[in-house]
Structure 1
Amino acid sequence: MIRVLFMIAIAGFVLSVGSLAAAVAIGGPEAVARGGWIVAGKDWGDRWDWDWDNDIGHRRGESRWSGDFGPQATRTLVWSGADKLDVDLAADIRYVQADGPPTVTVTGPRKAIDEVIVRGDSLRYDHHDAQWRPRLTVVLRAPNVSRFDISGENTLAIESYRQKTLRLDVSGLAEVTAVGETEDVDIDMSGKGDVDLGALKARGANVDISGASKATIAPTDWAKLDISGAGDVRLLTNPPRLETDVSGAGKVRQGGPSASPSPSASPSPSPSPKAPKP
């Protein structure tokens, strides 16, 4: 039995070597001419890109992002999205609620911003190669964006917000701040992000945290808080309706920077009555 298994293994190895040799003989010269062979790599969206060769139109050992990124420049794009913003590149983002034609202004090295595109509700690079790209500055001016999907180490500052709802999907180490007014806030966080809505007036807030993320909110009427892991929710107000579900090392704090009310001092024991003199 062992001899049969050994012979099968040897036959499989020989067949694999033969197949690889045939592939090299057929496609090798063309792959070398196009810049070499790449088995796998990750693209800008952190997805695996299974390509056999480096077809990016550059000399071997060189990428479009090697060396100098070029001078700083600013480029304005037409925003084609509706009520959602999904950022698929490294950036510091500002959303300013404003009337008029929606626009996206991107600032950064010329070589990088020339490849930024708007596709639906997503802001991303046009090419999918796995090379490192510099951090950009993005300003979106639009009248009705109310849903934001922020990930990685990106930062988002929301200004002059005046809409019925605000929806935040935050993952990784992303940070979000907001100033303005809304009725209801819906926050979904994973990772170790930080959301500060202390300057956003809201009637109610629904917060769902997994991981070690932190959220600061100021709802006046109600709050529903679901924390799994080491998450932390700080309430700057005392809403009359408060529902919490905490598992793990998570915390819900109210009224200020203190994590929890300090324990009250134990009352001093009253002096025992004096015994009557004999």
Structure 2
Amino acid sequence: MFHKGTSIILLLVISAMGILDFPAETDRIIINIGPNLNPALPHRPNTEVLALEPMVGCRITGLRNPHVHIIHAAVGANSSLAQMNWYHVNAESSSFSHPTVRANWNNNPKTNRGKKIVPVIGMSDIFKAIPPELEVWYLKTDMQGFDFQAIVSGGEYIKRAHYILTETWFGNVQSYSNVQNDFCKHLFPYMISMNFIPIKGEDGYKTNDMLNRPGVKLINGKSIDEIKTLCNEQALLPERTGSLEGDVFWKRVDTTLEEPVWREAKENP
């Protein structure tokens, strides 16, 4: 259980715990998947944060916020054990998959530590553990290629979230092998079907051959129909390996809640 004034590190799979017990005054929840060393913060009273970080959660030692709960687990379609590949400094690019191109961040023996066995919590199990009377204000994912898979695996539970941030790819450029996470082909049509609309896009990491190509920020200022036209154009581009990544900010069409603080001060897109 969660108790007011107590910071708890969860080491168990949520599905085995049933409904979580939050302080009585709690009215909103933030779910942050893959925060690395910079988890989301509440930024308002009566808000609790569930931060799921499988690789370096134990290193978030400087955080002394009793309303941010670090859960040492990855997120996937189902609760299980799995092997995750440790990539980059502080494991910030770790993934269940492998990058499609070699670069210093994924090919450096000083920062890459091979495979680590991690517990995996099903996306739907996270939502099931949150009392139904609480609002899931913000779902934030940074899953190195697995954002779309996790969102889809959440099914109808995803509609409990008022705002969502997803990492994605653009322009038929595949960052990680054997996984679907393209904005136009995967996330955009699915999120529209789930009654979410994109608020904006921000370009993120690009490999050198992509530095001059605009990414998902191309959706900014466009209507849904204009984004559909843009995506039809992107579909004509040849598929290729590399990175043309970015983040997309989504809003549930019927929400009346204000936008969350999308990023913490130390974050990069």
- TM-score category, normalised to shorter length: under 0.3
Instruction: State TM-score, norm by structure 1.
Output: 0.26
Query: Of Structure 1 and Structure 2, which has the larger fraction of its residues in helix?
Result: 2
Specify which structure has the bigger relative contact order, considering alpha-carbon pairs within 8 angstroms and separated by 6 or more residues: 2
The structure with the larger Rg is 1
Query: Of Structure 1 and Structure 2, which has the larger fraction of its residues in strand?
Result: 1
